[in-house]
Structure 1
């Protein structure tokens, strides 16, 4: 089955430094976590934010984040009993003017596509 977000609730877990939300596979709840650095990077930022601001950024990118989580779930990408979305799940598209720049300089550009790219992978 496909993963669908049915409950709009989400919480920030300071111990995991992640936003936790639940998606559903039919009637089965599936816990998902998105690291705070992933949400910040999606918005092109780099400074630490309050939990309220992190949750607002999550809301802004909710559909993309759920799509990434659903793709990971469909391919068996669970870590333990949870889907974890991190920076390594994002691929950055560099502007034409930055084509000669190394890929790592593009992180945080705010222009994102889903996928994975080993050159941009960073451990969570």
Structure 2
């Protein structure tokens, strides 16, 4: 089953240095953690932000972060019972997108030359 975000709450946990939010797999609540660096990288801003501003930036990219968490969940990539989303996950998504785009361009180029 795929993850759904039904509860919009999220908190910054300074002890874990992560934004914690919860997704649902049917009736099962699944905790997720996102590093501040990941959120800042998505926002294109590498400055330190207050926890309130960090949470607002998280809200802006919530759907993308949930999508990454859902893929990790479906692949069984959890730490304990928690899904952790970090910078490496963004790099993987960007590389996959770039590869897909490059393949699309190459296929279009071949079609033009046939």
TM-score by length of 2: 0.80
Residue 11 of structure 1: CA displacement?
Answer: 0.4
Segments ≥4 residues shifted beyond 2 Å: 112-115
Structure 1 gap ranges (5+): 93-111, 116-124
Q: SS of 2:2's equivalent?
A: coil
The match for 2:18 is 18
Map 1:1-124 to 2 at 5 A.
Answer: 1-91=1-91, 113=94
Task: List per-residue Cα deviations over 1:10-63 (Å, max 9, x = no partner).
Answer: 000011111000000000000000000100011111111100000000000000
Q: How many residues align?
A: 97
Residue 91 of structure 1: CA displacement?
Answer: 2.5
TM-score by length of 1: 0.74
Over alpha carbons, which structure has the higher Rg? 2
Structure 2 gap ranges (5+): 97-114
CA RMSD of aligned residues (A): 1.8
